[in-house]
Amino acid sequence: MSNNTVTITDNRTGKKVDLDILDPTMGSSTIDIRKLHKELGLFTYDPGFQATASCKSDITFIDGDKGILLYRGYPIEQLAEKSGYLETSYLLIYGHLPTPVEYHTFVKTIKNHTMVHEDLKMFFNGFHHDAHPMAIMVGVVGALSAFYHDSLDVNNPRHREISAHRLLAKMPTIAAYSHRRAHGLPLPYPRNDLDFIENFLYMMFSVPSREWSVDPIAVRAMRLIFILHADHEQNASTSTVRLASSSGANPFACISAGIASLWGPAHGGANEAVIRMLEEIGTPDRIPQFIARAKDKDDEYRLMGFGHRVYKNYDPRAKIIRAACNELLETMDSTNTPLFDIARELERIALEDEYFVSRNLYPNVDFYSGIIFKALGMPMNMFTVIFAMARTAGWISQWLEMMDDKEQRIGRPRQIYTGVKMRDYVDLNQR
Ligand code: CMC
């Protein structure tokens, strides 16, 4: 028996099995349980995948205890300071920082794909006028598969790459249109003379009757948010993308599934939920009653923007974005500050309160990104949409990696059946 195994004994039968321990380049070793069922007839139970690796991945590394986040080995702090969103996307997709030629070619390629098919624009009119933009995103991104048939062969690496480029490039256009539709605003064409973030802000906020100019503060804050949200290994939405594509489904449908998963308030919907919570609190004197609710075992209420499944010490993204958030709030007009005063007070209390400290419930990245979006005047229902745009780089990188992984098979979890045992059908007139 090698040292790199763990022996499992079924105490009911005395039967044993040696399972291999797989060593990663960094992080916790993992028991390979694939032969467990064959040898012992046992499955494993791990709802929410708290201790189960679903894949091998070279893309992103997280050490939740030490607060480390690396994209392809590069610390998030360095990328946040020095890189741009498209360069970070290139890094995530291709595994290395681009040379100048690779970078310019990539930017040019992405810009070539920023427009959407004219017929796709009609979809936006079909939604109810007050549709949430995330609902529109789920529908329209999925609908891309009805338009771009020339890149849908998932077994063809070139098709996969073109689809990946299309998704990255068209996401800001679709996101901005989902906002403009609700406000009766015309749908502008993307402007490829602007950079990725500038173009998104242009498509969001420009109106034909007025000159539009770039706000450098908004661009800087958004660039940071995009880089910090670009990937986060096997979170719920990324795992959704992987699971959906494990059947060979097309990438547009799979990214649409990822968007749906991200929408939930426990995941990407948290940034919007943070502002709703601050508005509900209303004034700083009401904070204690909300803190009391969050601590009450019989109340399901939770403080939005606090806690994280993986970061049990601190969220490195929150540390970076907190500084940017404070900097931005310093420049704010004082009429906007009551909400932010509540946020600061909530942060202070949570960082000192025994309940939050003992459970390592620190403010997470969404706590600060929600505040930044609010400070920039971004409509609240667009917060999660922006997260989705940023995470597209991660989703497509993980999808591309999975499609090349010979060990991947269709995702098919097991269950512990807890229903009634086999019984006979009773005729209707005898029930
Ligand atoms: N407010 C109050 N109590 C909390 C909170 C919170 N936000 N989060 C966790 N707890 C408590 C929870 O009640 C439990 O207490 P006890 O041990 O006494 O039963 C303990 O902390 C551990 O919580 P958990 O539910 O086991 O933790 P989890 O890892 O399953 O959940 C989470 C992580 C992020 C879903 C959760 O902390 C939460 O719901 N936070 C609020 C929503 C939020 O901000 N989500 C954004 C996450 S960051 C962005 C992203 O990656 O998508």
- Cα-to-centroid distance, 131 and ligand 1 (Å): 28
Catalytic choice (132, 179, 308, 315): 308
Ligand 1 atom closest to the Cα of residue 236 is 52
Q: Name the nearest CA neighbour of 330 among 320, 340, 321.
A: 340
Contacts of 335 (CB under 8 A, 6+ apart): none
pLDDT at 3: 76
Among the options 132, 231, 232, 366, which is catalytic?
A: 366
Distance of CA 217 from the midpoint of ligand 1 (Å): 32
What is the C-alpha to C-alpha distance for residues 320 and 314, in angstroms, rounded to an integer? Answer: 11
Residue from 305, 406, 394, 353 nearest 59 by CA: 394
CA distance to 281, 294, 296, 373, 389, per residue, from 299 (Å): 16, 7, 5, 29, 34
Confidence (pLDDT) at 272: 86
Q: Look-up: residue for tokens 């909530």?
A: 346
The C-alpha atoms of residue 141 and residue 134 are separated, in whole angstroms, by 10
pLDDT at 224: 95
Residue 70 has a pLDDT of: 98
Q: For residue 306, report the distance from its CA to the centre of ligand 1, in Å.
A: 7
Q: Indicate the length of the chain as a whole number.
A: 431
User: What is the reported pLDDT for 325?
Assistant: 87
- Conformation bin of residue 19: beta by default, left when phi > 0, alpha when psi is -120 to 50: beta
Based on the residue annotation, tell me whether 308 is a catalytic residue of this protein. yes
Q: Rounded distance, CA 80 to CA 82, Å? A: 6
In short, whether 304's Cβ falls inside 6 Å of ligand 1 is yes
Annotated catalytic, 427?
no
3-class SS at 75?
Answer: strand
Q: How far apart are CA 228 and CA 222, in angstroms?
A: 10
152 lines ligand 1 (CB under 6 A): no
Report whether 140 contacts 178 (CB < 8 A).
yes
Q: Whose CA is nearest to atom 11 of ligand 1?
A: 359
Low-confidence spans in the chain with pLDDT less than 70: 1-2, 332-337
268 lines ligand 1 (CB under 6 A): yes
What is the rounded distance in angstroms from the CA atom of residue 375 to the CA atom of residue 336? 8
Q: Please compute, for residue 403, the number of CA atoms within 13 A of its CA located in the half-sphere on the CB side.
A: 26
Which of 165, 179, 229, 267 is an active site residue?
267
What lies within 8 Å, CB to CB, of 115 at 6+ separation is 170, 173, 189, 190
Residue type, 259: I
Q: Is 312 in the pocket of ligand 1 (CB under 6 A)?
A: no
Verify whether residue 128 is a known catalytic residue.
Answer: no
